[in-house]
Amino acid sequence: MLSAAVRVGKHRTTIQRWLSSYRSGGIEELLCQKPRSGRPRIMTPETVKKLSEELSQNEGFSSYKEAHQWLTLCCDVEVAYRTVHQWVRYRLKGKLRISTSG
């Protein structure tokens, strides 16, 4: 189950829910799943795009704290520092700017 989840890039509980739907009603049931009504994402696709573009600029960010402050000021997004760190480092594979002072 975990291997399948990793391969399709979904959480294992999502794969379990899909399998359960398929087992109970076949492909018709699987395709008729209703949209999930969970909490809306704080990091919207637009915000992620802006962050990605900012990371690709030469100026970029010199720290995760700077990226966190930028999101708060420029995108009006209140997220935890940990969330910013995970998005920048692991999801967007962003590189921080190295200071060349001295």
Domain that holds residue 12: 2-31
Q: Are residues 17 and 52 located together in one domain of the fold? A: no
Residue 12 lies in a domain: yes
Whose tokens are 């995970």? That residue is 86
Q: How confident is the model at residue 100 (pLDDT cuts 50, 70, 90)?
A: low
Cβ atoms of 33 and 21 closer than 8 Å:
yes
* Residue 33: pLDDT over 80: no
Residue 16 lies in a domain: yes
Q: Whole-structure pTM over 0.75, yes or no?
A: no
Beta strands in 1-102 (DSSP E): none
Q: What is the pLDDT of residue 96?
A: 87
Q: Are residues 50 and 84 located together in one domain of the fold? A: yes
Question: Collapsing DSSP states into helix, strand and coil, what is residue 15?
Answer: helix
Q: How confident is the model at residue 1 (pLDDT cuts 50, 70, 90)?
A: low
pLDDT digits (tens, 9 = 90+) for 46-74: 999 999 999 998 788 999 999 999 999 99
* Residue 2: pLDDT over 90: no
Nearest-angstrom CA–CA distance, 85 and 91 = 9
